[in-house]
Amino acid sequence: MSNIGAIDGHDAHHDDDHHHGPAKGITRWIYTTNHKDIGSLYLWFSLAMFLLGGTFALVIRLELFQPGLQFVEPNFFNQMTTMHGLIMVFGAVMPAFVGLANWMIPMMIGAPDMALPRMNNWSFWILPFAFTMLASTLLMEAGAPNFGWTFYAPLSTTYAPETVTFFIFAVHMMGASSIMGSINIIATIQNLRAPGMTYMKMPLFVWTWLITAYLLLAVMPVLAGVVTMMLFDVHFGTSFFNAAGGGDPVLFQHVFWFFGHPEVYIMILPAFGVISEIISTFSRKRLFGYDSMVYATSSIAFLSFIVWAHHMFTTGMPLAGELFFMYATMLIAVPTGVKVFNWISTMFKGSITFETPMLFAIAFVVLFTMGGFTGLMLAIAPADFQYHDTYFVVAHFHYVLVPGSVFSIMAAVYYWLPKWTGNMYDETLGKLHFWLSFVGINILFFPQHFLGLAGMPRRIPDYALQFADFNMVSSIGGFLFGFSQLLFVFVVIKCVRGGKKASAEVWEGSHGLEWTVPSPAPYHTFTTPPPIAENAHARVETKGDV
Amino acid sequence: MQPKNKFLLGLLSSALVLISTHASAAWELNMPVGVTNISRETYDLHMLITIVCALIGVVVYGVLIWSLVKYRKSKGAKAASFHENTTIEIIWTVIPILILVAMAIPSTTVLRQIYDTSESELDIMITGYQWRWQYSYLDDEGEEVSFFSNLSTTDDQIAGLDEKGENYLLEVDEPLVIPVNTKVRFLLTAADVIHSWWVPEFAVKKDAIPGFINESWVIVEETGIYRGQCTELCGQDHGFMPVVVEVVEKAEFDIWYSERQEAAAAIAELTDQDWTLEQLVVQGETVYRTFCMACHQANGQGLPPAFPALTGSEITTGPIEDHINVVLNGVPGTAMAAFGAQLNPVDLAAVITYERNALGNSVGDFVAPIDILQAQAE
């Protein structure tokens, strides 16, 4: 374990942490109830999963480099696509945002820690066991789950490998972890805000996480329900999803996507918060339309519950159903557009500099908007009949998730790393990492739009010859992007180990309570609540010029 | 025109032709326009949304790039202090809503047409299996025409031992045949897991779901061969169950159809014929290669534990009634499908006999097609 936040309490002594510093050795990490330690654990875990899931992605891109079966068997290929999806969604993106929430929310609202510190420890420590169990299926005779991360029944029940049971319990554990994590975040935000920190003064990252936490609380039990029904179908002879026993395979999809659609917003709303903080900081200008950002986020969260069947346009829903889900889905473009316009208006007439976090944030706005456009195209049901389950969809959701969620996480890490470690990261290497990632990601995913439109289905290990050229281009981009992430790991470790000392403010345009504590942030912060200015609207001013 | 210029022009135009033919083959950028009214309308809809998105993109990215260039701190930009403007917030909420309404109207029109499956002239049942399609022509008169459509690309091509053909992975042993300019209704279902039947040039993609019968339709306006694939992950060989549809003139279709009816009648006759063990083993090997080999492997060793070995197994060397039962009805809760409905009695008898007397087994008994019919009746 490295020591992001593992500040030797004596170096960074501060009025707030006169009790004690962190415990020594491995027990510090096992027993810790400190939000900063747990935040670090989440982030390191997420990084490990990102590299593991990325390795699976490289296996996929390697096999798809040219037509024919060269490296893996079709069944193993399916295991790779499944595990890549599961690990990236549940192991990399979600824990990274929970890690950021742990680190930053208490410091942003002036709280001493999370509201439920012991549960916080448990929420994290469930995860390594859940993912060890899931990944261990790769070593089992029956092989890992091979039915896609969406695990449609009956492929995932009657026709599943025996390891499906490990998958089900791993999902249960991840779900329990997420539910506890979200309860903790809700309890912290609603109860531990410093006096004077009203809801409409909270930083946008806190707002987006509050809404995300409610989404998690609403849908993770639905996921638990659907995998439990699978468990009963597999082991106890029920027929929830088995047509031969009177069950309904389409019911599975309705229940899954009732979870699954809010889930995709769970992976993007905290990103909106991060990007709002960063763009405002490096434009040296207050976020444009704070109130409308909050309302837009809430609208997106509400809409996310009534659009799930747009993933199921080809299942043969009645016309009225298709129309309802098409219209509702198109509506999402409105609040999403508001957000993009607000970010651009924040930059408009600002005083912009281009440090690494800002580069990632700008790329987020550009490329997430690309994903938004293709999302709108996919909402049009008749056109979706052509796009559905092709590489066009793969390109769409990777544009939203990689230069969307993942770039926002990287932006957040570069942005707050000096606060966590007390050291500035290497700006040159950070920028190099950005440009390699930016170029790599576009070579990787942009051609996949064309592949999908030309008719290449997703989740196939081999393809017809007319898809060969773009697949090769895409694979080259994949390797460029994949190996560039080793540079990210290097930059982070280098920064943890040392570097130019960071000031408390770190950034010229920084604003918010987290920048009022020293860098690195002491082990305990805000043991007494900080004063919040009466006239501070929607933000806590720390510097006159912002 | 100067001869030199003419030469250059010729060179240029031939280069353009080369590039564009190559482009249409490999660097295909867009959705096919297709050969049905619906596919053309879908294409137009797709182009409309793409262009609308591109125009919005030009404006949004334009303002973004302009801000990034103009308001750089390094160029001495000082930050303004404004942070809200209700008027502009209302404008950029209302305008997108109007654009969305404008896009929803044509989308609704097309969708209503797609859902109108009435007044079909020909009905075809499409059943998805792991990993092949079955096409059954629904017709009250004469013998039923029903057959399986299997991938015909060879394993050697897939493994890279043989040069890949032009229609690599998009070719089948028997394509679906339909008449041109005729409203054909498809009824889709599946026998095991969910599959999805897609032909891009028809703009038809519909899930084939066990326990459900979905509907779709086409009126194809040009004869030709159209290719597509299964688009719902359905297990190991999901990438290897293409859809091929041959669209022919109506007269040609009628001839083909009556030939298929006669062939079906011939199969019925074959079922009644006397068969020897040797004849059945020869016939059975072909059936085994098409239907059983993917799981149980060419040598009968299977891929345990999911796909058990047939060589020396209790089923293939035990009582023949049990063997027939497993092949006809499958094994619930496992990947072993029920082949009773998939194969004709001759092929069923042949493959069971083959499994008992080949693949390292030599039980010495055999089952005649007529016995299969009897077993099915029970």
DSSP string, A87-139: IIIIIIIHHHHHHHHHHHHHHHHT-SS-S-HHHHHHHHHHHHHHHHHHHHGGG
Q: What are the structure tokens assigned to B112, written together? A: 């209503």
Give the ipTM of the model, two decimals please. 0.90
Q: What is the mean pLDDT of residues B2-26?
A: 50
Looking from the CA of A102 toward its CB, the CA atoms found within 13 Å total 30
Question: What's the confidence (pLDDT) of residue B263?
Answer: 86
Our answer to whether residue A263 is catalytic in this structure is yes
What is the C-alpha separation between A65 and A159, in angstroms, rounded? 29
pLDDT band at A537 (very low <50, low <70, confident <90, very high): very low
Q: Does B98 reach chain A within 8 Å, measured CB to CB?
A: no
Question: What's the confidence (pLDDT) of residue A25?
Answer: 87
Evaluate the CA torsion angle A192, A198, A203, A206 in order and state its sign. Answer: positive
pTM: 0.87
Angle made by CA atoms B248, B252, B256, in degrees to the nearest 5: 100
Question: CA of A499: how far to CAs of A13, A426, A517, in Å?
Answer: 20, 8, 19
Per-residue model confidence as pLDDT tens digits over A246-302: 999 999 999 999 999 999 999 999 999 999 999 999 999 999 999 999 999 999 999
Question: What's the confidence (pLDDT) of residue A4?
Answer: 46
User: What is the total count of domains within chain A?
Assistant: 1
Closest chain B residue to the Cα of A352, Cα to Cα: B72
Assess contact for A120 and A33: CB atoms under 8 A: yes
Phi-psi region of B169 (alpha: psi -120 to 50; beta: other; left: phi over 0): left
Place of tokens 């849908």: A219
Per-residue model confidence as pLDDT tens digits over A370-386: 999 999 999 999 999 99
Task: Say which CATH number the domain at A469 has.
Answer: 1.20.210.10
- Quick check: is A5 in a domain? no
Question: What's the confidence (pLDDT) of residue B7?
Answer: 53
Question: What's the confidence (pLDDT) of residue B13?
Answer: 52
**pLDDT greater than 70 at residue B135:** yes
Pairwise CB contact (< 8 Å): B169 & A463: yes
The strand order across the sheet containing B214-219 reads: B145-149, B132-138, B122-129, B183-190, B214-219
Higher pLDDT, A246 or A5: A246
Percent of chain A residues past pLDDT 70, beyond the cut: 94
Q: Which of A480, A487, A482, A364 is nearest to A425 (CA)?
A: A487
**pLDDT greater than 70 at residue A542:** no
- Quick check: is A216 in a domain? yes
Closest chain B residue to the Cα of A473, Cα to Cα: B27
Question: What's the confidence (pLDDT) of residue B112?
Answer: 95
CB contacts under 8 A, B 8-67 vs A, are 25-32, 38, 41-42, 45-46, 49-50, 53, 56-57, 60-61, 63-64, 67
Pairwise CB contact (< 8 Å): B239 & A461: yes
- Quick check: is A156 in a domain? yes
Q: Which of A356, A340, A213, A335 is nearest to A278 (CA)?
A: A356
- Quick check: is A3 in a domain? no
Return the SS3 of A270.
helix
Domain that holds residue A191: 15-515
Q: What are phi and psi of B245, to 5 degrees?
A: -120, 130
**pLDDT greater than 80 at residue B15:** no
H/E run at residue A170: helix A164-191
**pLDDT greater than 60 at residue B235:** yes
What is the 8-class DSSP label of residue A63? H
- Quick check: is A326 in a domain? yes
Place of tokens 């790329």: A363
Strand partners of residue B197: B206, B230
Label residue B12 exposed, middle or buried (CB < 10 Å: 0-12, 13-18, 19+): exposed
Q: Which of A69, A184, A288 is nearest to B84 (CA)?
A: A288
Rg (CA), chain B: 29
pLDDT band at A397 (very low <50, low <70, confident <90, very high): very high
- Quick check: is A386 in a domain? yes
Q: Which of A163, A162, A142, A164 is nearest to A152 (CA)?
A: A164
Question: What's the confidence (pLDDT) of residue A534?
Answer: 62
Our answer to whether residue A310 is catalytic in this structure is yes
CA B104 and chain centroid, separation: 29
The mean predicted confidence, pLDDT, of chain A is 93
Per-residue model confidence as pLDDT tens digits over B269-285: 887 788 888 889 998 99
Our answer to whether residue A11 is catalytic in this structure is no
**pLDDT greater than 90 at residue B181:** yes
Q: What is the mean pLDDT of residues B327-336?
A: 83
Assess contact for B332 and B339: CB atoms under 8 A: no
Question: Which of A250, A291, A351 has its CB closest to that of B73?
Answer: A351
Question: What's the confidence (pLDDT) of residue B213?
Answer: 96
What is the C-alpha separation between B352 and B369, in angstroms, rounded? 10
- Quick check: is A541 in a domain? no
User: Beta-carbon neighbour count of residue B232 at 10 Å?
Assistant: 27
Question: What's the confidence (pLDDT) of residue B5?
Answer: 54
Higher pLDDT, B307 or A81: A81
Which has the minimum average pLDDT: A155-159, A357-361, B137-141?
Answer: B137-141
Domains for chain B: give ranges and CATH numbers.
28-70+84-116 (1.10.287.90), 122-258 (2.60.40.420), 273-377 (1.10.760.10)
Q: Which of A299, A273, A271, A289 is nearest to A367 (CA)?
A: A271
CB contacts under 8 A, B 242-301 vs A, are none
- Quick check: is A71 in a domain? yes
Pairwise CB contact (< 8 Å): A141 & B305: yes
pLDDT band at A13 (very low <50, low <70, confident <90, very high): very low
Per-residue model confidence as pLDDT tens digits over A23-37: 888 899 999 999 999
Tell me how many residue pairs between chain A and chain B have CB atoms under 8 A apart: 289
Per-residue model confidence as pLDDT tens digits over B192-214: 999 999 999 999 999 999 999 99
Residue type for position A178: S
Chain A residues in contact with B67 by the CB 8 A cut-off are 344, 347-350, 352
Residue type for position A394: V
pLDDT band at A58 (very low <50, low <70, confident <90, very high): very high
Chain A residues in contact with B64 by the CB 8 A cut-off are 344, 347, 362, 365-366
Pairwise CB contact (< 8 Å): B83 & A288: yes
Closest chain A residue to the Cα of B66, Cα to Cα: A348
Q: Which of A306, A326, A302, A304 is nearest to A314 (CA)?
A: A326
Pairwise CB contact (< 8 Å): A244 & B228: no
